Amino acid sequence: MDLLRSEPMQFVQLIVPNESVHRTVSYLGDLGLFQFNDLNASRSPFQRTYAAQIKRCGEMARKLRFFREQMARAGLSPSSNSLAVADFDLDNLEVKLGEFEAELLEINGNNEKLRRNYSELLEYKLVLQKVGEFFHLAQSIAAAQQRELEVQQNGEGSIDSPLLLEQEMTTDSTKQVKLGYISGLVLREKSMAFERILFRSTRGNVYLRQAVVDGSVTDPVSGEKVEKNVFVIFYSGERAKNKILKISEAFGANRYPFTDDLGKQLQMITEVSGKLSELKTTIDLGQVHRSKLLQMIGHQYEQWNLLVKKEKSVYHTLNMLSVDVTKKCLVGEGWCPVFATNQIQNVIQKATFDSKSQIEAIFHVLQTKEAPPTYFRTNKFTSTFQEIVDAYGIAKYQEANPGVYTIVTFPFLFAVMFGDWGHGICLLLATLYLIIREKKFSSQKLGDIVEMTFAGRYVIMMMALFSIYTGLIYNEFFSVPFELFGPSAYGCRHTSCRDATTIGLIKVRDTYPFGVDPKWHGTRSELPFLNSLKMKMSILLGVAQMNLGIILSYFNAKFFEEKINIWYQFVPQMIFLNSLFGYLSLLIIVKWCSGSQADLYHVMIYMFLSPTDDLGENELFPGQQFVQVLLLLAALTAVPWMLLPKPFLLRKQNAERHQGRSYSLLHGTDDNLETKQHHSSPSHDDFDFSEVFVHQLIHTIEFVLGAVSNTASYLRLWALSLAHSELSSVFYDKVLLLAWGFDSWSIRIIGIAVFICATVGVLLVMETLSAFLHALRLHWVEFQNKFYAGDGFKFSPYSFSLLREEDE
């Protein structure tokens, strides 16, 4: 597996007989190494050959979605351990799915009717009970009042009493007013408005009584659980009755009949209770039958769903093939890796044999000038690093792939900013948990953030390992230095300097064997040595990575045989960058090795302002002034070297090419002539010298200014490393140590909890994300812009594995 260059690709033509074309495409989908080109791009989806079959598959997919919705409502899920896909014919599967859908729709319809009847009967029972209580209470009150009136009349009779009784008895019964009533249920939230509208519309000529129903009831219309009130309305006259009926309909009130006969009330309640019991039994039996049907569907749902998706994708792919003039075979074209040639040919032979075709399919490699797609063979470890590069842009065919170097440089630059071997161990433990249980997590549906973290588990593991390494170099464990590899090389002259950072310290032992000496950390207000080390190290790493990018541009130019880019892009860029910033890196290394006190800021500034002045005490090696003048002249020469020659050489090459085409003999067949016209390169008229020159001018200015800004951009390594160390120190000193200084264990426990939360939330989450994004920017902008075009397109083979990923 070679990640530096993409896999060699070939353009292939397939000529497949009609009787084996379906199996051929299906087997190629299982293989997943052939990318079909659409030969019918000018046709709409409805004009293509297999539009009817796609419509059938879409209808079956709709039925399967319906089954899944029904299973979800029933609290069931498709079986994940279904048997292997049976030999289902598409026609048989279509009939079977139709039968299941019809049966399920019938069950649902009957169940819906039964549930509605059940809800209506339940509401009717509530009306009979609550309104019956109204009438019983009213009759009890009326009887009590009648008895009280009779007692008063017998005890306190007067001379007018017989006359009054006689008048009441002789009153015409036809003039008495008979009241009607309407009963039902209304939503509790609408009951007050319902009462007000009734009062206003009838001008108060109704009598309304309501009773609250305990708990919620199922509405027969909507099927939802709602809270309702039972009401009974007494009215007089047909006009009032019509108003009440219209208002009840407007408020969605359900009305039910009621009789004031107590015997009939008891009889109706008994009948309703019996019907409710029967309906409950029927509904339960229907639910059992429905559950069994859904369980049977769920057992084979996954294989049916996968089969339908495969068939639909096969027909979509077949629509990309063109029909031969004889209409006995289909012609397809596409790309495949060279290494997959034998596999594809074996698949085609197998499809021919399984379909019992008498004619074998033809596998023919074509020559084309079309740009091939880019394909890198990756595994679960390298795929995430490759996706980091692909997010910037897909590599051009056979272009040098930054993903190879990203495997090492990306986690290393992250670790330079995150360096703390205590935090690195925490990251490593969390990542190892994801890696150990990756089989379980890969088969589960994870949230967006967890899924993204799980996908990048190997990147995070490398980041954690490099963070442990750089943390050991920085000698920081949650910001605390340790003497892991021996005692410090520095000691005090006398006891008065035991808390000093630099003053009063002398070297009393051999140099600390690995990483930063613990004494170099000093107090948190100075950090004299470690701070300077990180800043200079950032410049060295930046210049080294930018040089790597320019070297990769050389390999690209050499691979594509672009001699102009080698001599007029790679060489001047290397000269310019290293004459300035390469020289600065050299001065840093010389200063470290010699222990000189030279001021590098002064040296670099006056290298431009006064290159001939004496360096004095800032001189690091003999002849430094002469070397600086030569490097400055080389940097100034590199700028026109990048700008001027390349446009003129391109114009010269274009003129020679055009002259050669003008006087060349034309020979060959008509087919060759048509091929040349189809794949012809841009004509002489397409070359615009002014456009090329302006493009080269922009490129030169971008590189010159970018060399300065990109080098400064690498100082973010120093800044974020310093910020991470300072934040860790603040949490350790101002939270953990401060809480530990109290005698109360409760305060100590609270301090430990706050320290853990701050470390996890800020340093292990936010700082990790911040360092990740900065490392990403350094790779995309400062590193990849030196050599990486990223204007290719990805190899997208026809593969059934993508269907499973979509389901997940």
- pLDDT surpasses 80 at 261: no
**405, 630, 716 from 470: Cα distances, Å:** 19, 37, 16
**What pLDDT is attached to residue 344?**
94
Which neighbouring-strand residues pair with 210?
231
Q: What is the mean pLDDT of the chain?
A: 85
Token pair 């002249």: residue: 633
649: tokens are 């050489």
752: tokens are 């430990």
Token pair 């990309």: residue: 320
Encode pLDDT of 666-687 as tens digits: 444 444 433 333 333 444 457 7
Strands 322-323, 254-256: pairing kind: unpaired
Spatial distance between the Cα atoms of 436 and 806, rounded to a whole number of angstroms? 25
Is 2 within 8 Å of 382 (Cβ atoms)?
no
Grade residue 429 by pLDDT with cuts at 50, 70 and 90: very high
Q: Among residues of the chain, what percentage have pLDDT more than 70? A: 89
Is 732 within 8 Å of 479 (Cβ atoms)?
yes
777: tokens are 């920017």
Closest by Cα among 407, 514, 507, 411 to 467:
411
Q: What does residue 323 show for φ and ψ, rounded to 5 degrees?
A: -85, 130
Encode pLDDT of 603-629 as tens digits: 899 898 888 888 888 888 888 999 999
**What pLDDT is attached to residue 463?**
95
Spatial distance between the Cα atoms of 768 and 83, rounded to a whole number of angstroms? 44
- pLDDT surpasses 80 at 305: yes
Q: What stretch of H or E contains 228?
A: strand 228-235
Amino acid at 581: F
* The dihedral sign for the CA sequence 638, 640, 646, 652: negative
Is 476 within 8 Å of 524 (Cβ atoms)?
no
Encode pLDDT of 718-734 as tens digits: 999 999 988 998 998 88
Encode pLDDT of 509-567 as tens digits: 888 888 888 877 754 434 567 788 889 999 999 999 999 999 999 988 888 878 888 88
Cα torsion 782, 788, 793, 796 to 10°: value is: -80
> Which region among 96-110, 493-507, 529-543, 569-583 has the lowest average model confidence (pLDDT)?
493-507
What is the average per-residue pLDDT within 338-364?
91
What is the average per-residue pLDDT within 755-778?
93
Spatial distance between the Cα atoms of 395 and 789, rounded to a whole number of angstroms? 7
The maximal CA–CA distance of the chain, rounded, in angstroms, is 148
**What pLDDT is attached to residue 127?**
86
636: tokens are 């100034």
Grade residue 170 by pLDDT with cuts at 50, 70 and 90: very low
> Which region among 179-188, 197-206, 259-268, 652-661 has the lowest average model confidence (pLDDT)?
652-661
Spatial distance between the Cα atoms of 685 and 679, rounded to a whole number of angstroms? 17
Amino acid at 317: T
Spatial distance between the Cα atoms of 45 and 315, rounded to a whole number of angstroms? 11
**What pLDDT is attached to residue 743?**
83
Encode pLDDT of 458-479 as tens digits: 999 999 999 999 999 999 898 8
CB atoms within 10 A of CB 383: 15
Which neighbouring-strand residues pair with 13?
333, 364
Q: Coil, helix or strand for 566?
A: helix
Amino acid at 618: N
Is 512 within 8 Å of 485 (Cβ atoms)?
yes
Q: What stretch of H or E contains 196?
A: helix 191-201
Grade residue 640 by pLDDT with cuts at 50, 70 and 90: very high
Top-confidence residue, 548 or 173:
548
Amino acid at 446: L
210: tokens are 């309501």
Q: Coil, helix or strand for 608?
A: helix
CA 105 from chain centre, in angstroms, equals: 36
**What pLDDT is attached to residue 525?**
39
**What pLDDT is attached to residue 394?**
93
Amino acid at 435: I
Spatial distance between the Cα atoms of 446 and 808, rounded to a whole number of angstroms? 10
The total number of residues shown for the chain amounts to 808
**What pLDDT is attached to residue 321?**
93
- pLDDT surpasses 60 at 500: no
